[in-house]
């Protein structure tokens, strides 16, 4: 958990907490085959590689940590460097119906000798 305190010019205090996950995918995105939607900046996730930076989106979809996709399937390629055992694969999704944000209908995780492909 990363906690920060920020003071504005009027000396008002703002606190922020961010969970940082340590996992095999952190820093290992080789290629984001599907560009994320740019129609709303709050769905950028921060960068093209935010799906592998270890930072998670919160319960507020406007926090800038969620990455949105519109109209096509997402494909992300990870490379872990060497073969490894997986105990689990996890995906986080958020659905805000009023904003037009829906859960995926299905997810496919493909393990290949060259890396993990998520669709």
Phi-psi region at 11: left, alpha or beta (left = phi > 0; alpha = psi -120 to 50): left
End-to-end CA distance of the chain: 29
Q: What is the pLDDT along the chain (119 residues), one digit of tens a residue?
A: 677 888 888 888 888 777 667 777 777 888 888 877 776 777 778 787 788 887 888 777 777 888 887 777 888 888 877 766 777 777 888 887 777 778 888 888 877 765 555 65
Angle at 116 between CA 113 and CA 119, to 5 degrees: 135
Domain count within the chain:
1
User: Range of 83's domain?
Assistant: 1-119
């Amino acid at each position: 958990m990363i906690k920060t305190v920020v003071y504005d010019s009027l000396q008002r205090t703002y606190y922020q907490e961010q969970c940082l996950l340590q996992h095999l995918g952190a820093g290992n995105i080789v290629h984001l085959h599907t560009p994320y939607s740019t129609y709303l900046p709050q769905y950028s996730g921060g960068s093209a590689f935010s799906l592998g930076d270890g930072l998670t989106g919160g319960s507020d979809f406007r926090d800038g940590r969620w990455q949105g996709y519109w109209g096509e399937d997402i494909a992300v390629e990870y490379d872990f460097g060497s073969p490894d055992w997986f105990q689990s694969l996890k995906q986080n999704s958020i659905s805000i119906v009023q904003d037009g944000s829906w859960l995926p209908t299905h997810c496919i995780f493909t393990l290949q000798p060259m890396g993990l492909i998520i669709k």
